Every structure is written in C-alpha cells, then in structure tokens.
Amino acid sequence: MVAHYDAPMPTHLEAHHSRALGLAPDAGRPAVVLRGVTRRFSRPRAAPLTALDEITFTVGHGEIVAIVGPSGAGKTTLLELVCRLQEPDHGEVTADAAALMPQRDLLLPWLDTLDNAGLALRIAGRSRPAARREAAALLEVLGLAGFEQVRPDQLSGGMRQRVAFARTLLSGRPLLCLDEPFGALDAITRMELQSWLARALAREPRTVLLVTHDVEEAIVLADRLLILSPRPGRLVAEFRIDAPRPRSRTDPALVALRARVLEALR
C-alpha cells in the first residue's frame, strides 16, 4: 500500500496565521540564545576541526529561523548544541526545551502511526490509550487522518516525515529543531512537504530552528535566514523575510531574495 498524502487544510485555517498564538514570552528571554559559541572536534593525527566558530544569535519566541549553509558547515552540530546533545567548547547556549526532528524519519518500524506519533507522550508516562487519543487529534489537525493504524513500512517517504513531525510536535516542547527534515525526499515531495509544514506551523505555532541547505525551503518557511559558512562554521549574513503567508515560490520579491541568499552563500 502506498500512502496518498494529498491532505489539503481548510482554507479558513490557512488564512488564520498567527504564529505568536499561545506562546507566552518567557520573561523577555528569547527562546534561543547563543553567545560566542565555538565547537571543536579533535582528530587523530591532525589539528582539531573547528566546526563552529564564535556563533552568536538569538531566536525569539514563536519565530521561525532557518540556518542555511552548505554541507560541512556545522549545521547539525549547531542543532545538537541547542538540543543539549553536545556542549560547546567556548561560549554559552541557553534555549527552551527542544525537540529534534532529524533528516531520517526514525519511526519505530513495529509501531503504527498513532503509537509513533505519541512516542513522547508514552515516554512521559501517559497511558497508551491516552497517547493514541492525543496523537489522533493532532493527526486530524495536520490532515493525516486515515493512516492511524498503518505501520511505517506501509507509508511513503513523505508521509513518514509528516508522522515524524507530528511526533516532534507531541513532545510538547516549545522549541522545534528541524535538521534538514526533507533532505532525503525527492524534489516534488519536498516542495509538497514544505508547503504542508508552513500550513502545519500556522495551525500549531512553535518556535522553530530549521537547518537546511535548500534556500527555497528556508525562504518559504522562515521569518529569518542565517547564513553559515563552511569550515569553520561562521555566521556570514542574515536576511529577514516579511512576505505574508502562505508564500508563493514564484513571488518576484522572494525570487529576488533567493538570488541574494545564493550570492551570500558563495
């Protein structure tokens, strides 16, 4: 069985875009603060590799920030620092509790969609029926109804990423760290999922730190773009995107912005 994932959302909800909804600013502290963060990896018989060099930026509550950079720019390291999976060698990281969504969906093959989506709830000690109920409610909101009792091997790659995103949302963490979430998908599915994610975030607003090497993805989704240079990873440019949502890929302003971003990536 191949999943068919055409799941349009009601248009009145697409129009209802208010990202700050339900996200009380936490005593004025931003959701993410990095100050002079440096991360080095020691290598056998070679000088240590500086993955990130003096990175400083903040992410406000409810903001969607995309970190754009080529492979090897330390993007994943940056996310793992924010998610506390690594510690910086220098500098300071403070961040809200974060949930990580990796490039690989990492769904558990023995669980169906509801159990996979509700994994964080089960880990938090919720009963299985309660976790499944909550997962089912979210899947409905995200337009994923109809695949509740299907195992991952019966889902398409795009559908699996949507379930992985639902799992990330159900962690209940205010901050989502998305690590090239659609990097493993084909170009057409990737575009579909980018639009889907934009709608999903409109309905379930969160603070998002998105890491990607896909400039268009960043422009379609983010409020702000941070450009990371490779080896050592340094922030070299920043772009603010005020275009209204839902965004069109063919919007001339965004197309022009894309050219500027690509220029900065050179």
Tell me which residues touch other proteins (CB under 8 A).
83, 85, 98-100, 102, 104, 106, 108-110, 119-120, 122-124, 151-154, 171
Closer CB to other proteins, 3 or 100, in the complex:
100
Closer CB to other proteins, 30 or 102, in the complex:
102
User: Measured from the CB of residue 236, what is the shortest distance to other proteins in angstroms?
Assistant: 28
Token pair in block for residue 149: 């009792």
Closer CB to other proteins, 32 or 198, in the complex:
32
Cα separation values, 235 from 180, 181, 217, 239, Å = 18, 21, 19, 12
User: Measured from the CB of residue 122, what is the shortest distance to other proteins in angstroms?
Assistant: 7
Closer CB to other proteins, 112 or 223, in the complex:
112
In this structure, the chain runs to a length of 266
User: Measured from the CB of residue 58, what is the shortest distance to other proteins in angstroms?
Assistant: 21
Q: State the Cα–Cα distance between residues 180 and 68, nearest whole angstrom.
A: 10
User: Measured from the CB of residue 153, what is the shortest distance to other proteins in angstroms?
Assistant: 4
| Residues pairing with 144 in the sheet | none
Are β-strands 175-179 and 207-212 bridged in parallel, bridged antiparallel, or unpaired? parallel
Do the beta carbons of residue 113 and residue 148 sit within 8 Å?
yes
